[in-house]
Structures are given as C-alpha cells and as structure tokens.
Structure 1
Amino acid sequence: MHRIQSKDLTPFLHTHPFAYASLILRGGYGEQTSQDIRWYGPGSLLLRRSDFAHRLARVEPGTLTLFITWKRKDNARQLRRPEIMDPDVPWVDYPAGVYQRRLYGRVRYCKFDQFWHTAADTVEAASASTKPSIDQKTKPLTSSPARPPPRP
C-alpha cells in the first residue's frame, strides 16, 4: 500500500528505477508528463515502464494506491530543462556552484547545477549532493556561488 501525501515538490519530471503498477484505491492524482496532465481516480490502473517520465502535479487528500514494482534497474533520473513544465515553479538560472540559502530559519549550503540540491552544513557536503531539493523556489543569499563547481 502506498499513501500519497502530496504532489511532487520539485518541478522536474522523473523516472523510477523499476517498472511498476499503481492501482488507485481511494482519492486520485494528476500525473504530469511532457505532453499533458491527466487525472486518475479510484479504480484507475497505471502500468509504467522504468523509463516513463512523470511527476504528480496534484494529489487529493487521503489518496491510497496499491503499488507493485518489478524489473529493478539503476536508471532513475531527474529530467532537466526543457523537460520540466510546471507553470507554478518558475525556472531560475544561476551559475553552477555552491550557494548559501536561508532554509527553515537556518543558513545552509546548496549546490546548484540546473536545479537546487539538498541542503548541507558544509560546502564539501553540498558539493557531493546528488539529490534534488524539495525547495526549488528559495533564492540564494548572494548572486554568486560561495564555491564554484569542481572541475572534472
């Protein structure tokens, strides 16, 4: 059983590292793809390959699904511009690097490389982050990075 608490909080479409089936038992959600947003309610059965890119754009409170996975692969990814299409989350562009941002009352370090990554307490930890932050809206405290990205 999968209780869906909220819509996806990043503006990015994403894939999963497995194929899956989702049977909506209660509630429903709007699934966004690169083409459109479609609403699925109780009784909807969704079969998805691991390379299917989507995001949950809207979720009814109390949504409950039966979620079954198979064929695990290590190919999950976040899609980046221009593959994102959420009009409520404007696209921002900053030079790639690690910035300071005030998040939840604290100043933290966050890497930006086309999107914000999870916050960290040190520049080194922020530089190593690979996970997208759920907060893509909070602006950095300065317009230039505290540290540019490492060279490959």
Structure 2
Amino acid sequence: MLLKLLDKFDRLRVIYDRDHQQPYMYRYYLLFKDKVQDQERANQLPFNLMLHKICASDPDDLHDHPWWYATLILKGGYWEITPQGRFWRGPGHFRIRGSQDLHRLELPEGGTGSWSLFLRGPKVRDWGFVKRGRWIYHRRYLDDRAVAAQQL
C-alpha cells in the first residue's frame, strides 16, 4: 500500500544498471525528492531518507558516494565487498559510511533482492569508481565502459 502511494505521488525513481538494461534499484523518496528540476537545489538538501530495493549486483569495480550515509537492512541482504574483504549484510544490519568509503554490493545467487532504509547526508563531493588503483569520475567511467562494450 505504501509503495503504491509513493509511486502515485511520483516518489519512485527506478535506477538502471550500468548498461541501462535492467533495473538495478528502486528508490522510494520518503522525505525529499532529490531529482528536482533545479539540480543545484537538489544538491543542497541537508539529508534525505529513502527506501531502497536493490535488484542487481554492482559491477566489479568498487565505488564511493557523494555523501555520507547510514543504511539499515530490512529484508533480504547482500555481500558488501570493500578493500578490507567480503562481508554479509543481512536483516537488522546497521552501518554508517563516509563518502570516500569504497564498496560494491553483490546479491546472493537466487535471491529476490534486498530492502533497506537509507539516510544520506549533504553532497560533499563527486562520486566515482576505482579501477586499477585509480579513482575515476563516475561519468567518465560509465562513458569508457559504454565505448568498451560497443567495441566487443
């Protein structure tokens, strides 16, 4: 019922995988909607609270975020791969991460996805990926990935 109501009031954003083929995440805005017409105003939001359903694993490269965040796993779960190792994050797991903390998420085989409550802080930087030990701005990384896919 709540999800249908949020969708009706345009509070749902579907984020597709890096190749724009399938949904990666369903993001329900519980407070503010980040993707407002005025991007500058959206970037100045001091925080936001969202409900996430993660439907697909991240690609192989670790990434960071433009803000600090806290997450509480509600249902399902995932493996979080960080420079320190691979860790299971299941229901009830609560974590606070900084904007420069690197990770990627991997859903278990045969899983139905993972639901989490996600609180994010204000934007403090651009985000990107680490490839071969180098940080790469996310748009460049995605453009390079698209070019490489076309050459196959």
Q: Which TM class, normalised by the smaller chain length?
A: 0.5 to 0.7
- Unpaired runs of 5+ in structure 1? 84-113, 118-128, 142-152
Secondary structure of the structure 1 residue equivalent to 2:63: coil
Deviations 1:68-99 (A, max 9, x none): 0003212312111147xxxxxxxxxxxxxxxx
1:4 lines up with 2:54 in the alignment: yes
Specify whether residues 136 and 75 from structure 1 end up closer, same or farther in structure 2 by C-alpha distance, changes over 3 A only. Answer: same
What percent identity do the matched residue pairs reach?
34
Across the two proteins, how many residue pairs are aligned to each other?
A: 98
| Distance across 2 between alignment mates of 1:47 and 1:7 | 20
Mapping for residues 90-101 of structure 1, pairs under 5 Å:
none
1:33 lines up with 2:82 in the alignment: yes
Normalising by structure 2, we get a TM-score of 0.55
Secondary structure of the structure 2 residue equivalent to 1:132: helix
Specify whether residues 45 and 130 from structure 1 end up closer, same or farther in structure 2 by C-alpha distance, changes over 3 A only. Answer: same
Secondary structure of the structure 2 residue equivalent to 1:21: strand
Greater CA radius of gyration, 1 or 2? 1
Specify whether residues 40 and 132 from structure 1 end up closer, same or farther in structure 2 by C-alpha distance, changes over 3 A only. Answer: same
- Residue matched to 1:81: 132
Specify whether residues 61 and 135 from structure 1 end up closer, same or farther in structure 2 by C-alpha distance, changes over 3 A only. Answer: farther
One-letter identity of the residue aligned with 2:129 = Q
1:132 lines up with 2:139 in the alignment: no
Normalising by structure 1, we get a TM-score of 0.55
Specify whether residues 35 and 136 from structure 1 end up closer, same or farther in structure 2 by C-alpha distance, changes over 3 A only. Answer: farther
Higher strand share: 2
Deviations 1:38-69 (A, max 9, x none): 00100000110001000012354131000000
- Unpaired runs of 5+ in structure 2? 1-50
Higher helix share: 2
1:69 lines up with 2:120 in the alignment: yes
CA contact (8 A) 1:37 1:57 kept: no
Task: Identify the range of structure 1 (132-141 vs 24-33) with the bigger mean alpha-carbon deviation.
Answer: 132-141
Report the Cα offset of residue 135 of structure 1: 7.2
- Residue matched to 1:57: 106
CA contact (8 A) 2:56 2:113 kept: no
Segments ≥4 residues shifted beyond 2 Å? 57-60, 133-141
